[in-house]
Structure 1
Amino acid sequence: MTAEERRLEESRRHEAHWKRWGPYLSERAWGTVREDYSEHGTAWDYLPHDHARSRAYRWNEDGIAGVSDRHQLLCFALALWNGKDPILKERMFGLTGSEGNHGEDPKELYYYLDSTPTHSYMRMLYKYPQRAFPYAELVAENQRRSRKDLEYELWDTGAFEGDRYFDVFVEYAKASPDDLLVRIEAVNRGPDPAPLELLPTLWFRNTWSWNGERQRPSVRAEPGTARVRARHAALGEYVLHCEGAPELLFTENDTNVSRLFGAPNGVHHVKDAFHAYVVDGRREAVNPDRVGTKCAARYRALVPAGGAAVVKLRLRRGGLDDGSEVGRDFDAVLAARRREADEFYEAVAPSGLSADERHVLRQSLAGMLWSKQFYHYVVRDWLAGDPAQPKPAEARARGRNADWPHLYNADVLSMPDKWEYPWFAAWDLAFHCVPLALVDADFAKEQLLLLLREWYMHPNGQIPAYEWAFGDVNPPVLAWAALKVHDLERRRTGRGDRAFLKRVFHKLMLNFTWWVNRKDAEGKNVFQGGFLGLDNIGVFDRSAPLPTGGHLEQSDGTSWMAMYSLNLLSIALELACEEPEYEDVASKFWEHFVHIARAMNTMGLWDEGDGFYYDLLHTPAGEEIPLRVRSLVGLIPLFAVESFPSGLLEKFPAFLRRLEWFIDHRMDLTEGVACMRTRGEEDRRLFSVVSPDRLRKLLRVMLDESEFLSDYGVRSVSAVHRDRPFELPVDGMVHRVRYEPAESSSGLFGGNSNWRGPIWFPTNFLLIESLRKFHRYLGDGFRVELPAGSGRMATLGEVADELANRLSRIFLRDARGRRPCFGGTRLLQEDPHFRDHLLFHEYFHGDDGAGIGANHQTGWTGLVAALIAKAA
């Protein structure tokens, strides 16, 4: 057992709270729904970036390379100034939804390089230009560009020309759960000496301005030292030790009302005091008494060309008593934690991986672990407003999330990323838990259970989607994730957590019932889930009323429910192995599956001539119009598959009798469903929406390189629509879907998401898993052309392997040393200080594999770790 594994065990047993401190600070708290108290829900405009330095946040904090305790009472992050910027850089900058030509987008370069699951060791890199940061240029140029143009990125501005920038590395190491060592190293990559100010900052989240709370925490300088004492009634006392003799600055974490609203400030020293002091030279801005709720240690350096400035600090409960500045053991502890992180990941990585594969595996998991955040949102209080603040507009009570007043979130959650999506998303989180289970199964299980707790799940059984609209519907993948996490833990430790499966199962039965009652409009087992996470993949916005009227029977919505039924069936059979009463429940979900699978195959969603599934539009006039878009909508039926070994089913004779009786006597319901009686390899039984015959037809389309199959995975829309877009005329207006391999030209969903061509990891991952399940049943005798038309035959297991390799290839160096994810950006491809630092984008170019969309969404793109670790 490695040292990190021992810490995980101590944490699991609550013997030592190694996870009390972590990277739980967001990179953006401005422009979020939680901070939006506008009348019409214009979150991006209500608290913009320009307000962020001056305005106290209501719900959570942000910062660069930041950490906090798990309740985010005390926060620590880095601020910087290069002597030229118009503002002190205390947080990451980016464009709002209306400013970017492809929606919101961070415009910084930073990388999560390493993290252990207990955060006993963490490392991050921020690239800081030495010229004035081009805030206005980034906004103006992106607004000038059309949706047909590429985004204008920081490297396009010349910010890194001549290597005139700093590589700022921030490292954290824990000597104990409440003893955090911090090392900051700023390396001057440029040819000349350059000035730099480093301002590591410690502050308390503002909990006193909202409800009339009188007791404030405090941070106070210890006379004659470079120490700061932070006291909080609930958290206790921590001491920040600063190496050297930095200038200590103090202020309050309170809004600068005067700057923002022209009214008198309630306190003399306000949140943006360090900006005013450092950038504007206003000495009166900081508190001369050296006390407040926010402090910074100001280090000033002229960093030589190729040289570095190093700062060491230590945040510790109770402080040090050995007479040293940051502890005589500082370097030894840091070196030990680095070594222990290496040992831990050496054990995680399978044998036989190349050095580059290990590098991608470790950095993707680092991104997953750094993306944990404290998420605070009490909808009832948000709707009503706070007693000590102006009352919100009346429209708020009937607007966004008004139907979710029970929701009370104040937890550390895995989030898609810390800038563009600093909030949880239900189906994203399900996928996060798979790579997280490789390193911390306990955390993965906690995450899945959290979404099902009564302060998250709606009383009617709906699972909250995401903060922009909790009532939207995400694909029901939590049951799949729970099974996957359970199986990964059992594979690694030899034991499965049955208590976890039972807790998940009972809650998911409530959610399954919600789906059956709310999303089957005609009671025919054909489901309408709305956009179902696939944003703009369809002809219409599927979350809005259809321009034709009527309703849409969704191939993907129905398939997700078939998959959900099989996932719950699998969990029920797993539990029935030791508790027979679950056998009856297994029968329930098997019958649900049969009804849904029959509907999928007999009610017009399958097109025999095309060998493909399509959505079916029902008009008010009674017409049924198949929407012949070749998209993931037609491939998602493949996800609804399980192949059970005969030995498992024979453990449940009553279930098996009901199964056989149903097959014999209800042929009206088993029509069109894959044969459940025919024995496959090792006497397996197949439960699948897609029969082997239809599977062959679907794969002929999916594995065609002129359609879905790219060198880097399966596209979300067939490339056949590049020159032949699907068109549907309605009331004189043509609705169109064209293959778009990169940025979206559609304004749907803010324009920052594109399911009309790019490659997405979550759906590809499920395709790989489904192919492996089919292979276990059909065996080596079932072969298809790979690629279609090539004459090369492959088993379904080999097809799955090839897809996994193509996806992994996005990040790995090719024979020329290039990583496809960097596209044609020479700086990222060739510069030795960039080419091995990875960005994990939301999705990838359907033709060349370049990263597109949110550029730090390790989130579900972190599934590459599971692919490399052979955990698919």
Structure 2
Amino acid sequence: MDNKNAEEQRLAVPDSYKNWKRWGPYLAERQWGTVREDYSVNGEAWDFIDHEKARSNAYRWGEEGIGGFCDSREILCLAPVFWNGKDTILKERLFGLTNNQGNHGEDVKELYFHQVSTPTHSYSKYLYKYPQKKFPYEDLLLKNRNRNREENEYELLDTKAFKKNKYFDCFIEYAKADVGDILMKITVVNRGPKKAKIHVLPQLWFRNFWKHNKRFERPNMKATSDNSVLSRSIRNGRYYLYHEDGEQLFCDNETNNKLIYDVPNEVPYVKDGINDHVVNGKATVNPEKNGTKFAVWHKLKLKPGEEKSIKIRLRKRKLENPWADFDEIFDQRIKECEEFYRDIIKADLPKSHQTIAKSAFSGLLWTKQFYYYDVYKWLFGGPGEAKPYRTNARNFNWQHLTNRHVISMPDKWEYPWYAAWDLAFHMASFVEIDPYFAKEQLLLVLRESYMHPNGQIPAYEWNFSDVNPPVHSYAVWTVYEKDKERSGKGDTGFLEKAYQKLLLNFTWWVNQKDKSGTDLFEGGFLGLDNIGVFDRNHMPHGITRMQQADATSWMAMFTLNMLRMALELAKTNKTYEESVAKFFRHFLNIAWAMHHIGKKDISLWDEEDNFYYDVIEMANGATDRLKVRSLVGIIPLFAVEIIHKDLFEELKEFKIRAADIVRTRPDLASLISNIEETNSEGNYLFSIMRGFRLEHLLKRLLDEDEFLSDYGIRSLSKYHEKHPFVFQHYGHHQIQYESGESRSSMFGGNSNWRGPIWMPLNYMIIQSLRKYYKFYGPTYVYEFPTGSKNELNLNEIANELSKRLINLFEPNKEGKFQYHSEDKRNVFTKDEHFKNQHFFYEFFDGDNGKGLGASHQTGWTALIANLIMDLDANKGIS
């Protein structure tokens, strides 16, 4: 404990750890337009509560804010509100386009940055950039609506909103004096050339939990002085809020029924009361100074470059002088935050790499969110509630699902709901900064209130039954290994809990996605949206089955992950030896099946092209390969594990069974390295691809005319730019290389797997190459790039791929960050208040590296931090 910094000490004590996390940045950045809040008849989630209705409609399942904090059950919420005096509404929430409004699907149209946070959120900082001119809501909406899929999106910086730097930098900071003592500081800086006015309204409000649960009485806030407010709730007791100066405004977090539904309001001062009072001067706030929503109204006038701060303190107990130690606490928490990251990120890394890693980790921490969704109540209403009328009973088969936890989100605006495979990748990064949270999250998704009784892991709220790649086992083993390496002791309790639940999930895959029992799997789109020549969830008429190279390879990887976990658990419990044998045999079966399909013995591996393809089966029994060179054919690379012989030494039962398999089915064993042979260091190689297949696959993977880009591995080979793959069957189906935004409307068209670079799959490619290197060693070399005659070993190739991905976040020859290479105004290059701020895009253009899709997808793009740290560990940084 003595060697740990202050934040690590808070993390190391379980009770303290949980208490320190009682408050955090758990507010969504968009609650409107979600499935949870959709009570429309036909399931039109984007339209039922849109941005316009959001300020007047009290939500059922959650809350939202700009840089907000709340407790871990989202009973009480704290967030700032801004108004430039020109907008027709207060800036309470981030604006963006719905899936139907944007030319490339949903998209936030704001400038904000998750600057820093510690794992317990003892210190957190957020930056919001707010125009001094009228916010261009209509301009953004109309211009994007009128653009087609061939055109770029029209962004906030494309408007005149930031011309001549006429904007405010709004810094929102939180520091905890203790677990129930939250300090908030809002600092506004005028970046413009002239004096400018801004209104700042820190808000405190209750999520409306009482309307839908009659056992909870209505909470209350009331003024106790001109500078303090007392909130009371049966659910979280008393909290005292202290503020400096400003005018106190109260209303209730209740829907304005009169405005939205033209029926009488249940209370006189409704949710939009503060908005209407400040903007329009209406008498819509409670003169008695009480309610369930409160704001303190500050009116500032700032000279060019001037900054002013507003202080708020929220605590469980009274305090005579809330400001006496305010600045001291902030200074201390900032210092502790810096110490924490100095211990996590090595000081000898390049400064730019340190900045990228810290920003990635901090964004990951800021994208935690309280997520509440009870499907049964959503479908049928809670006690005392009328049953909602729905013709589209979405997620009807998931009535057991009750989620009420803080969960890591992909992006709290564009994807403010968890996705199973996104979350698994998040934990590969979280384990570097908060292994406790990483383990908690992985077990959470396996709970009985999440996992289906049949063993399926929920995908995401739009359709929990959709199938995401089975990467949860990969994440569990990755987190276990990294945590063990750091602490010196493996958390076998965590591993065993996860293993037992993953057995259920494995069985679901075998029973549901290999219905013919041939060890060849299907799963539809598998998170890769439009990567297929047609929608793999809805195949054209006459195709009875698709045997997927990616689904089958993911399952081979799943099998190896389970084998490796069973080996670890067998060290202390010999019962797991039987599981080792089971998964060893299952892996061999899958490897064999990938190369022997049906009566014609067609294989997923094409001997002519030396690549893996999906195989379709027609109603007449005919089979054919869909010769699309995509990540689908690269994913078999992930089914690899290197295991040292010492792990098998004491497993007598397994040795007997393995020897029997090898003796009776040598054709199976021949698909991998001989179980009786190891390399010079005593390692066995378990892999679908032996040397010759690996060599051929790498030849395509590392070819700059195919998969290899200057910025990583493309999702579709550039070969298909000039050679589109066409499939004529009940219509014309075509797939062509598209380096950037999607031209297809498949899955909403807001993401594209037909050419761009995706961080998680690149990360797995690199990790797999490092495993192969561990077996083959430094003498096994390949051309990099293909045709260059420059030969590197697999570890060196992994390093070079890492460098290309890291280059996305570094200045190019023109001084621009590569992912902002099309920044015509050079805002992110020359403006000192922009250039050190990073976005973490969902994916990147396969040709020029431009950042695309969701702009704050720190979730899996945070893996850039892992790549930086792994590159250093593997001597890739000199």
TM-score (ref. length: structure 2): 0.97
> Secondary structure of 2:46's match?
helix
Report which stretch shifted further, 338-347 or 661-670.
661-670
Which of residues 97, 100, 103 is equivalent to 2:102?
100
What's the counterpart of residue 20 of structure 2? 18
What's the counterpart of residue 367 of structure 2? 371
> Residue 341 in 1 paired to residue 342 in 2?
no
What's the counterpart of residue 459 of structure 2? 465
In the alignment of these two chains, the number of paired residues is: 862
Aligned-residue CA RMSD (Å):
1.4
What's the counterpart of residue 801 of structure 1? 799
Shift of 1:814: 3.9
Deviations 1:555-595 (A, max 9, x none): 00000000000000000001111211111111111111000
CA distance in 2, matches of 1:26, 1:642: 38
Q: Decide whether the 8 Å contact of 1:598 with 1:673 is kept in 2.
A: no
Shift of 1:390: 4.9
1:384-533 superposed matches below 5 A: 384-386=380-382, 390-396=386-392, 399-533=393-527
CA distance in 2, matches of 1:517, 1:772: 33
> Residue 563 in 1 paired to residue 547 in 2?
no
Which of residues 222, 225, 228 is equivalent to 2:224?
222
What's the counterpart of residue 836 of structure 2? 836
Shift of 1:811: 1.1
What's the counterpart of residue 543 of structure 2? 549
Q: Decide whether the 8 Å contact of 1:54 with 1:256 is kept in 2.
A: yes
Distance 1:16 1:424, change over 3 A: closer
CA distance in 1, matches of 2:10, 2:294: 31
Amino acid at match of 1:216: R
CA distance in 1, matches of 2:654, 2:540: 42
What's the counterpart of residue 379 of structure 2? 383
CA distance in 2, matches of 1:663, 1:550: 34
What's the counterpart of residue 240 of structure 1? 241
What's the counterpart of residue 715 of structure 1? 714
What's the counterpart of residue 748 of structure 2? 750
Q: Decide whether the 8 Å contact of 1:744 with 1:752 is kept in 2.
A: yes
Distance 1:14 1:186, change over 3 A: closer
1:572-651 superposed matches below 5 A: 572-603=566-597, 604-651=603-650
Q: Decide whether the 8 Å contact of 2:469 with 2:554 is kept in 1.
A: yes
Amino acid at match of 1:4: E
What's the counterpart of residue 854 of structure 2? 854
Deviations 1:710-751 (A, max 9, x none): 1111000011111211111112x2101111111000101111
Report which stretch shifted further, 206-215 or 335-344.
206-215
> Residue 738 in 1 paired to residue 736 in 2?
yes
Q: Decide whether the 8 Å contact of 2:11 with 2:17 is kept in 1.
A: no
What's the counterpart of residue 133 of structure 2? 131
Shift of 1:13: 3.7
CA distance in 2, matches of 1:382, 1:131: 41
Amino acid at match of 1:93: F
Amino acid at match of 2:578: D
Shift of 1:353: 0.4
> Secondary structure of 1:373's match?
strand
CA distance in 2, matches of 1:80, 1:214: 32
Distance 1:666 1:843, change over 3 A: same
CA distance in 2, matches of 1:757, 1:544: 22
CA distance in 1, matches of 2:111, 2:428: 27
Shift of 1:29: 0.4
Q: Decide whether the 8 Å contact of 2:410 with 2:860 is kept in 1.
A: yes
Q: Decide whether the 8 Å contact of 1:598 with 1:671 is kept in 2.
A: no
Deviations 1:491-550 (A, max 9, x none): 112111110000000000011001001101321100011111111100111112434431
> Secondary structure of 2:232's match?
strand
CA distance in 2, matches of 1:395, 1:167: 46
Amino acid at match of 1:8: L
CA distance in 1, matches of 2:849, 2:637: 24
Report which stretch shifted further, 49-58 or 214-223.
214-223
Shift of 1:677: 3.9
> Secondary structure of 1:285's match?
coil
What's the counterpart of residue 195 of structure 1? 197
CA distance in 1, matches of 2:386, 2:37: 14
1:749-788 superposed matches below 5 A: 749-788=747-786
Distance 1:796 1:214, change over 3 A: closer
> Secondary structure of 2:479's match?
helix
Shift of 1:327: 2.1
Q: Decide whether the 8 Å contact of 2:216 with 2:234 is kept in 1.
A: no
Shift of 1:309: 2.1
Deviations 1:127-159 (A, max 9, x none): 000111111111111110000001111101121
CA distance in 2, matches of 1:353, 1:828: 23
Amino acid at match of 2:306: G
Q: Decide whether the 8 Å contact of 2:242 with 2:312 is kept in 1.
A: yes
> Secondary structure of 1:722's match?
helix
> Secondary structure of 1:610's match?
coil
> Secondary structure of 1:810's match?
helix
Amino acid at match of 2:843: Y
TM-score (ref. length: structure 1): 0.97
Deviations 1:249-294 (A, max 9, x none): 0000000001111111110000001110011111x10000000000
Amino acid at match of 1:146: N
CA distance in 2, matches of 1:94, 1:518: 38
Q: Decide whether the 8 Å contact of 2:219 with 2:231 is kept in 1.
A: yes
> Residue 664 in 1 paired to residue 663 in 2?
yes
1:24-63 superposed matches below 5 A: 24-63=26-65
> Secondary structure of 2:20's match?
coil
Amino acid at match of 2:429: P
Amino acid at match of 2:473: A
Q: What 5-or-longer segments of structure 1 have no aligned partner? A: none
CA distance in 1, matches of 2:516, 2:676: 30
Deviations 1:651-694 (A, max 9, x none): 32332232233222212433544544442241211111111110
Q: What 5-or-longer segments of structure 2 have no aligned partner? A: 598-602
Name the % identity.
49
Which of residues 174, 179, 182 is equivalent to 2:181?
179
CA distance in 2, matches of 1:45, 1:390: 22
CA distance in 2, matches of 1:387, 1:149: 50
Distance 1:390 1:151, change over 3 A: farther
Shift of 1:823: 2.3
Amino acid at match of 1:96: T
Deviations 1:405-457 (A, max 9, x none): 00010000001011011111010000000111111100000000000000000
CA distance in 2, matches of 1:834, 1:76: 26
What's the counterpart of residue 10 of structure 2? 7
Q: Decide whether the 8 Å contact of 1:59 with 1:376 is kept in 2.
A: yes
CA distance in 2, matches of 1:803, 1:601: 29
> Secondary structure of 1:581's match?
helix
Deviations 1:3-38 (A, max 9, x none): 11111123x244771000000000100000000011
What's the counterpart of residue 170 of structure 2? 168
> Secondary structure of 1:296's match?
strand
> Secondary structure of 2:474's match?
helix
Q: Decide whether the 8 Å contact of 2:26 with 2:368 is kept in 1.
A: yes
What's the counterpart of residue 600 of structure 2? none
CA distance in 2, matches of 1:625, 1:690: 22
Report which stretch shifted further, 252-261 or 664-673.
664-673
Report which stretch shifted further, 402-411 or 308-317.
308-317
Amino acid at match of 1:40: N
